[in-house]
Amino acid sequence: MKRVFRFCLLACIPLFSVACSGSKRPQNEFIIEGEVSDVDSSVVINLSKTEINNLYSYSRSLKRSNNDKIRKIAEEMYGRMSEEDKTTRTGYKITANLFPPPIAEVGDDMIDADLLDINGNIKNISDYFDSNKYLLLDFWYKACGHCLNAFPEMKEVLETYIENLIIICISFDTDDIWKKALSEFDNPWIKLRDPKFDGGLAANYGSIGAPYYVMISPEGKVVDKWFGYGKGHFKKKVSENIK
């Protein structure tokens, strides 16, 4: 039986909605105009919204394949980003693309990070660690329809493996959008938000979009990672990994 897998690439949701216009140019195509000029380091000129979107495109390209010319331009532009812009969703993603963090692969120890609960308290994945249960991380965001479509199946799986499994859903959304989503969905799992959005912990697990799942063993090892949702696939993956 053929399965259809659905996912959201997150390529078209930078802070400033310029990158995904109605242009017919392919998403992975971009144009570099001009050369990097000498910049007086004593003068700081912050990037415009358009420049930030261009930098986001350059950083995505460099994540796929390094190019010295593009990197020179991107790093000069990054040096002119304000600290405020670096702490936006787009800013965190640019940082993760230009300076990739360590990635936990299957067999590696889990990677942790400071996340937030609904009251704004700092929480860590390790706070929920149980030596008798598997942890399943679900990276998602409200506008991702495929993430939401997975919720009913996730509930079924959690009920089946309630003695063996803890699910932690980690949102990429801003605080207000996340809280609105929580009010709309009555889900029986742990709910956290990453203040660095998809440029935070998800990047440490090699996420390329949403929904993105990471299975962690009772020993704290990454046992599986997968991307996208297709009916029945989530249930199959969890059953294969719980021993």
- Domains in the chain, ordered, with CATH? 8-100 (no CATH), 115-241 (3.40.30.10)
Helix (H) or strand (E) holding 168: strand 165-171
**Burial grade of 79 (CB within 10 A; 0-12, 13-18, 19 or more):** exposed
Dist. CA 112–CA 133, nearest whole Å = 17
Q: Is the pLDDT of residue 7 over 80?
A: no
Q: What is the mean pLDDT of residues 77-95?
A: 96
Task: Give the pLDDT confidence score for residue 41 in this predicted structure.
Answer: 42
pLDDT band at 46 (very low <50, low <70, confident <90, very high): confident
Q: Which amino acid is at 157?
A: V
Strands in 122-123's sheet, in edge-to-edge order, are 122-123, 115-116, 190-193, 165-171, 134-140, 212-216, 222-227
Q: Is the pLDDT of residue 16 over 60?
A: no
Contact 195, 171 (CB under 8 A): no
Q: Is the pLDDT of residue 209 over 60?
A: yes
Task: Give the pLDDT confidence score for residue 28 in this predicted structure.
Answer: 39
Helices (H), 161-232: 175-184, 201-204
Q: What is the mean pLDDT of residues 39-65?
A: 83
Contact 181, 173 (CB under 8 A): yes
Q: Is the pLDDT of residue 92 over 60?
A: yes
Mean model confidence pLDDT for the chain: 86
Q: What is the mean pLDDT of residues 18-37?
A: 40
Q: Which residue has the higher pLDDT, 45 or 46?
A: 46
pLDDT band at 45 (very low <50, low <70, confident <90, very high): confident
Q: What is the mean pLDDT of residues 83-97?
A: 96
Q: Is the pLDDT of residue 18 over 60?
A: no
Q: What is the mean pLDDT of residues 13-39?
A: 39
List pLDDT tens digits, range 160-180. Answer: 999 999 999 999 999 999 999
Q: Which amino acid is at 80?
A: R
Task: Give the pLDDT confidence score for residue 42 in this predicted structure.
Answer: 43
Q: Is the pLDDT of residue 186 over 60?
A: yes
Task: Give the pLDDT confidence score for residue 3 in this predicted structure.
Answer: 52
Q: What is the mean pLDDT of residues 192-203?
A: 97
Q: Is the pLDDT of residue 43 over 80?
A: no
